[in-house]
Chains A and B, each alone.
Chain A
Amino acid sequence: MAAVSQSAMTAEPSVASPKMTARDLNLFYSDNQALFDVNLDIVERQVTALIGPSGCGKSTFLRCMNRMNDTIDGVTINGKVTLDGRDIYDKRIDVVQLRARIGMVFQKPNPFPKSIYDNVAYGPRIHGLVNSRDELDEIVMTSLERAGLLKEVKDRLQSPATGLSGGQQQRLCIARAVAVSPEVILMDEPCSALDPIATAKVEELIDELRSNYTIVIVTHSMQQAARVSQRTAFFHLGKLVEVGETDQIFTNPKDDRTKGYITGRFG
């Protein structure tokens, strides 16, 4: 198993200055081990896709990267995850601030049952990022603009966010995450609850966001991984099997399991 990760690392030498890294990460839900010695580098201002069959640990791994697993009882983690070279599991790290630096978008759109404006303004408000109403207005507008939602909602910023369509809600959640100016955005199957048109819009958006943010996306759709990501990591049974440039993974996978998965022989 160590050999596998080693071969992956040698095939794709660890990148020069990764934004985030995971080293020998093991995770246990009570007695069940869900992640085994995961070593992965996340490159700055790129989209990294995590693929693999259901239950392979890719979402679990994603949630390790902003310590969302802390909120679950009975989870133990060992190993190291760094952001800009600093261990995020260090006792001196403030989780609240960490989660502001590493935003997250969830599988199901989960807007707060408040107005569209308040949804986006919530992050800047709790972190005290703004001094005046005007500044806040500006952040809300730019965030909505970045999420490609401004045109559709600018006349009804005060209406409830729950009245938006599923795709709009998901883009609102992205705008909400963007509003606190995170460095990394984690996306956990952001399109699984959306129709193809809304999915296309969100994918387009991810591609645009790449110029400003580092993005890690978990997806079940191989086409989506191929379309939006620059690097792809394949997980299987809690192990990172292979990681590399997306083109290489999809055209010339080194591991038989990767080959089997992307050609649809198992999954």
Chain B
Amino acid sequence: MTDMASLMEDRAAAKVISDKMHKPVDWDSPKIARNIKKRYAAERRFKIYGLSAIGVALLALFVLGFSIVSKGYSAFFQTYIQLEVHFDPAEIDPDRTGDPAVIGKANFDGLIKQSLRERFPEVTSRRDRRDLYGIVSGGASYDLRERVMENPNLIGQTRKIWLISGDDFDMLNKGYIDAEVDESSRRLNDQEIGWYNALVEDGAVEKQFHARFFTSGDSREPELAGIWGAAVGSFYTLLVTLALSFPIGVLAAVYLEEFAPKNRFTTIVEVNINNLAAVPSIVFGLLGLEVYLNVMHLPRSAPVVGGLTLALMTLPTIIIASRAAIKAVPPSIRQAALGLGASPVQTVTHHVLPLAMPGILTGTIIGMAQALGETAPLLMIGMVAFIVDIPGGALDPATVLPVQIYLWADSPERAFVEKTSAAIMVLLAFLILMNGLAVYLRKKFERKW
């Protein structure tokens, strides 16, 4: 009975409330009209905020791209000087042996200097001659030797040959040295500019595509320095990073998501993984220095150490992305497999992993892209060294693209400015390529259900 009474009370109370609420609304009142107007204004404002945010982002991107490309594109071209070179048999192969070993040791530098002296016979003083020899790069003699080794018939002939110019003359040709500036405050004096102008009048100065930039290693001479050594170093480093962090990361993610019991220990592991993702990369560099170099005595400056260090840094990224991807696989798929009598491992390998793969790959490639652009930890383990040779494996000393950029940005020669920008362009191209690959793989492995 008391139930009945309380029910009646409830109903009465409900009626009072509903009566209050049932006042008709005047949809045409000025108050409502003001409200609608305000709402539309808010929508418009929001749209403007959004558009201006995108505008700022695009502008920043454009400024960045423009400044890099406008500074860097000239590095893909190099000034060459045409000289008449006499392949003097007395200098190259006095005994006419035809032996490549003898030809290889010949003084090609002397041949070039001889040609320069012949071209500008009026230059006699020792000091002026030294300036004169600067027209042609020190690396030109190697090119000349290669040419003769390939074609020994050249010996004894006189040919017009395009030789790579010195960096100062390259800068002059590209317009980075202003002849109007007071002589004492520019890299080339009036006499040198005079020689250059004479060569230009002869049609003996030309800009050619600078393939050497993409095929050679680092050098102290800007005109001889190339990006290939760093690119190969980056490749080996990333290979080691990927080979370690992908399997370890995916296995850790699978274990934590699918098998680990939810207890205090796994909670601590989870928190720590998330914390590791936020640790500054230089800390990983110090760890790598201590563990890999000081304790394990792995080779200094080698991609294998760089890869090991970057793998530590990439692991949390891969684990977190993989766990998210695995978590996103609908539980109904797991139940279906388990209900059919698939073992937990079969459920994971046959169903969960294939479905999570697009997400895992995206996370991995983002982690790899991060590793590709990482500099600080590699400085700690000695990959900042000046290395001319192109590394032949993961144990050779090497440097990587971002460190190469850092090294060149630090170099005093004017010509390294454009090299720096060009190297940034190469690095960005690799990053765009990797992100493109991530998008492609995600599209390819994506399955709908």
Contacts and interface: CB of A to CB of B under 8 A. Distances in A.
Given A99-B340, A113-B448, A113-B449, A106 B355 contact: no
Interface in B343-382: 343, 346, 350-351, 355
A229 to B, nearest CB: 21
B333 interface: yes
A177 B346 CA distance: 17
Query: Which of under 10, 10 to 19, 20 to 34, or 35 or more describes the interface residues of B?
Result: 20 to 34
A166 interface: no
Contacts of B341: 96-100, 123, 126-127, 180
B332 A106 contact: yes
B432 interface: no
Nearest to B342: A126
B261 interface: yes
Which of A98, A126, A177, A180 has the most B CB atoms < 10 Å from its CB?
Answer: A126
Contact of B448 (A98, A106, A122, A162): A162
Interface stretch (A65-73, A75-83, A237-245): A65-73
B429 interface: no
A68 B339 contact: yes
Interface residues of A, number: 26
A18 B233 CA distance: 71
A177 B355 contact: no
B449 A177 contact: no
A54 interface: no
Nearest to B332: A110
B338 A173 contact: no
Given A71-B338, A99-B340, A122-B342, 17 more contacts: A68-B338, A71-B334, A96-B341, A96-B343, A106-B332, A106-B335, A106-B339, A110-B333, A110-B336, A112-B337, A112-B351, A113-B447, A122-B340, A123-B340, A126-B341, A126-B342, A127-B341
Contacts of A66: 339
Contacts of B340: 99-100, 103, 122-123, 126, 176-177, 180
B342 A110 contact: no
Contact of B339 (A73, A103, A108, A126): A103
B22 interface: no
Interface SS of B by simple majority:
helix
A51 B359 CA distance: 41
A104 interface: yes
Contacts of B34: none
Contacts of A111: 336, 449
A73 B262 contact: yes
Nearest to B262: A73
20 contacts: A66-B339, A68-B338, A68-B339, A71-B335, A96-B343, A98-B341, A99-B339, A100-B340, A112-B351, A113-B333, A113-B447, A113-B448, A122-B337, A122-B350, A123-B340, A126-B342, A126-B350, A127-B341, A173-B336, A177-B340
Q: What are the 7 A-B residue pairs with the smallest beta carbon separation, nearest first?
A: A100-B341, A104-B339, A110-B332, A99-B341, A113-B449, A110-B336, A113-B447
A58 to B, nearest CB: 17
Contacts of B339: 66, 68, 99, 103-104, 106, 177
Contacts of A100: 340-341
Nearest to A108: B332
Contacts of A73: 261-262
A198 B17 CA distance: 45
Contacts of A104: 335, 339
Contacts of A68: 335, 338-339
A66 B332 CA distance: 16
A252 B44 CA distance: 68
A106 B336 contact: yes
B260 to A, nearest CB: 10
Contacts of A103: 339-340
Interface in B402-449: 447-449
Nearest to A110: B332
Nearest to B343: A96
Interface string B19-62: 00000000000000000000000000000000000000000000
A123 B341 CA distance: 7
B342 A96 contact: yes
Contacts of A177: 339-340
B449 to A, nearest CB: 4
A213 to B, nearest CB: 15
Which of B334, B335, B343 has the most A CB atoms < 10 Å from its CB?
Answer: B335
A38 to B, nearest CB: 21
Interface in B132-161: none
Which of A73, A98, A122, A173 has the most B CB atoms < 10 Å from its CB?
Answer: A122
A98 B341 CA distance: 7
B307 to A, nearest CB: 35
A176 B330 CA distance: 19
Interface string A113-149: 1000000001100110000000000000000000000
Contacts of B335: 68, 71, 104, 106, 110
A66 B335 CA distance: 12
B355 A113 contact: yes
Which of B330, B334, B336, B337 has the most A CB atoms < 10 Å from its CB?
Answer: B336
A97 B332 CA distance: 20
Contacts of B338: 68, 71, 99
Contacts of B342: 96, 122, 126
Interface in B384-418: none
A126 B339 CA distance: 13
A106 B334 CA distance: 12
A100 B340 CA distance: 6
Contacts of A106: 332, 335-336, 339
A96 B344 CA distance: 9
Contacts of B343: 96
Interface in B260-275: 261-262
A162 B449 contact: yes
B264 to A, nearest CB: 14
